[in-house]
Structure 1
Amino acid sequence: MKSDSSYPADHISYQLVIRVHKDIRIVAGALGSCNFSAGDYVYTGSAKRNLDARLRRHLSDTKKLRWHIDYLLQHPHAEIVRIETSTLSECRWNQQLQGSIPKPGFGASDCKKHCGSHLKQISALAT
């Protein structure tokens, strides 16, 4: 998937729709071991400046593993299938999303709105 550099200038948040093709286990830095069942997930993040650069980074195969999402995206059975952007704040948009939390704290180390996680599983895949 390629990043579209024509995102509206007032969009500050993004959602990565990620498909995990089979059950996987990763170690996400200080968060530790995380198990993900096959299915679709949505990760909500923000970039107050240069949204396109942030999205290009997420799509890149060569990056330093810095954030929880980096560890998931590096796994060969996980891929970004769609990207959405919004003017809503990261937490507000995340809280509006229906889904289950696969790993408390994932992507929400600095969250002040008590989201619990900025990654939600939105559907399961038959295996």
Structure 2
Amino acid sequence: MISLPDKPGVYVLVVKVREDATVTVRSSRVFGIPRGIYLYIGSARGIGGLKSRVLRHVRGAKSMFWHIDYLLAHPSTSIAGVYYAVVGKSSDYESMLSSIMAREFNGIKGFGCSDKKKDYSHLYYCGNSLKACLYRASFLLNMGFKYVPLEPITL
């Protein structure tokens, strides 16, 4: 079982997309997601905190709400791991991370940030090598984030 705190925080899912994916979200917006490794930024501020939110993403069957739900429902995707940090509810760590990621990676414009109009994206392309992506992400997230590797779970 995945060991995560039940406290509020911010997380970055490491998502493998094995083949090009087209994702249509609740608003009928269509996103083209080329194959590769992606970093998805999210927050967990509700009941159950990080543990509840990340486990929701790992579970296969769920109601579709966030953009990431639609991507993870695609048969070519899996979660390789998650970075996380316990943080207070008052600061906007998602936008801070988005700003950092946007300087280093190409984002999928508008994905996952419909509630954060100033953010370019919350989904960033990290290349095709998981090892290289984890190295780059670990370097960027060296400010107190922990990494939990997950067995590749096909969602």
Is the shorter-chain TM-score for this pair beyond 0.5, marking a shared fold? yes
Report the number of matched residues: 120
Identity of aligned residues (%): 30
| Larger RCO, structure (CA 8 Å, separation 6 or more) | 1
In the TM superposition, what whole-angstrom CA distance separates every residue of 1:44-103 from its partner, at most 9, and x where no partner exists? 01012311101110111110001100000001101110100023811112221221112x
| Higher relative helix content | 2
Superposed displacement of residue 31, structure 1? 5.1
1:1-127 aligned within 5 A: 3-5=2-4, 7=5, 9=7, 12-30=9-27, 32-49=29-46, 50-86=49-85, 87=87, 89-97=93-101, 98-102=104-108, 104-111=109-116, 114-124=118-128
The answer (yes or no) to whether the contact 1:3–1:59 under 8 Å persists in 2 is no
The separation in 1 between residues aligned to 2:124 and 2:28, in whole angstroms, is: 16
Q: Given residue 25 of structure 1, which amino acid in structure 2 is its aligned partner? A: T
Q: Given residue 27 of structure 2, which amino acid in structure 1 is its aligned partner? A: A
TM-score, normalised via structure 2 length:
0.70
The separation in 2 between residues aligned to 1:33 and 1:61, in whole angstroms, is: 21
Runs of 4+ in 1 over 6 A off after TM superposition: none
The separation in 1 between residues aligned to 2:6 and 2:53, in whole angstroms, is: 14
The separation in 1 between residues aligned to 2:21 and 2:97, in whole angstroms, is: 27
The separation in 1 between residues aligned to 2:119 and 2:28, in whole angstroms, is: 16
- Where structure 2 has 5 or more consecutive residues not aligned to the other structure, the ranges are 130-155
